[in-house]
Amino acid sequence: MANDHDSSYKFLFSNPELVRDLIIGFVPDEWLHSLDYSTLEKVPGSYISEDFRNRADDIVWRVKVGGEWIYLYLLIEFQSSVDKYMSLRMMVYQGLLYQDLIKRAEVLDDGRLPPILPIVLYNGSQRWTAPIDVGDLIPPVPGLVEQFKPKHKYLLINENAYSDSELASVKNLVAAVFRIEHPATPEAIGELLNLLSEWLSDRPDLRRMFALWIRATLMRKVKYRIVLPQIDDLEELNVMLADRLEEWANGYMLKGKLEGKLEGKQQGESLALQKLLVKRFGGVPASVAEKIESASMDQIEAWFDKAIDAKYLDEVFEASS
């Protein structure tokens, strides 16, 4: 899915230091940790499938390993929402990457294919519920057919699964990214900027990259309610935020209060609709109650209007199903 989150993460993970820290910090595997990440090379992530449809802008890296493989390929996909069919997408992406490696003659000397580690990096607010293995999308089949069900897994890295204390305990650029995405307070951003300035004191290229990404991230998130001029230096960004900290903190608190009021109003409207449905139709199935509780205010109001005149329960939801 192409969105601001994907674009900003593609910007960050086009840098080998971020890829290395993602593997070292968030993939628990001693063999992967032992590899020489100074050999990381970015691989073209745009290729065309057999039906000439373009698959563009994947983040693909390769790292040298010992033995006969020569390279391990890292296929990284970014998600800000839950996709039930993510395992199918990753299976397709990996197949397209293999087709492209064959076309470019980047296979082993005997024609075998190099290994690929498919990674999904998720930063959404909802709990990740999508199957990790594509085989789990297919029901059991009796007899011989069961042997031919596809099996393909991806490695899920869910940044919301880590507490701030866990992330703060390691010197890791990706951990800092996760903390900036979900800061406890506006003041925490300043602390993280100071930390990054210290870590990257001899890396002006990374300092500029992080300054650009942090500015874009803060302006993209509605709850921060902040507008910043074009800045490409971490220290300058930190000074700018310090000058506006009180304004930003007030906006942050105001946003939280407004969200609380809106959430309370939405819960009230949801309950009112369910009471109306019980009165008119004698009951509300659990599936319908869940649907109402997860709906938007506009949707609830539309259902409420229909419930007044509907002849039966299903009619309330027909147009929106």
Instruction: Name the E strands within 49-187.
Output: 54-55, 59-64, 71-79, 116-122, 155-158
Dihedrals φ, ψ of 113, to 5°?
A: -100, 145
> Which residue, chain included where needed, has tokens 């319908």?
288
Which single residue is written with the structure tokens 């449809």? 53
Query: Which residue carries 């745009």 as its tokens?
Result: 46
What is the distance between the alpha carbons of residues 260 and 21, in angstroms, rounded to a whole number? Answer: 36
Instruction: Please list the helix, strand and coil fractions of the chain in percent, rounded to the nearest 5, in that order.
Output: 55, 10, 30
Neighbours of 134 (CB within 10 A): 21
> φ and ψ at 201, to 5 degrees?
-60, -30
pLDDT at residue 321, rounded to an integer? 41
Whole-number Å distance between alpha carbons of 137 and 149: 10
How is residue 309 written in tokens? 């005149």
| Two structure tokens written together for 85 | 């069919």
In the chain, alpha helices (H) = 4-12, 16-26, 30-33, 86-103, 164-168, 173-181, 186-199, 204-220, 234-243, 245-281, 286-293, 297-309, 313-317
The type of residue at 121 is L
Two structure tokens written together for 45: 């992530």
User: For residue 68, what pLDDT is reported?
Assistant: 76
Distance of CA 74 to the CA centre of its chain: 17
For the stretch 5-20, pLDDT in tens is 677 888 899 999 999 9
pLDDT of 225 reads 56
- Return all residues near 260 (Cβ < 8 A) that are at least 6 apart: none
Which residues, given as ranges, of the chain have pLDDT below 50?
1-2, 51-52, 54, 253-258, 261-262, 320-321
pLDDT score, position 51: 47
What contacts 115, CB < 8 A, 6 or more positions away? Answer: 69, 72, 73
What are the distances in angstroms from CA 267 to CA 19, 174, 277?
A: 42, 36, 15
Q: Considering only the C-alpha atoms of the chain, give the largest distance between any 2 of them, rounded to a whole number of Å.
A: 73
With H, G, I as helix, E, B as strand and everything else as coil, classify residue 121.
strand
DSSP state of 74: E
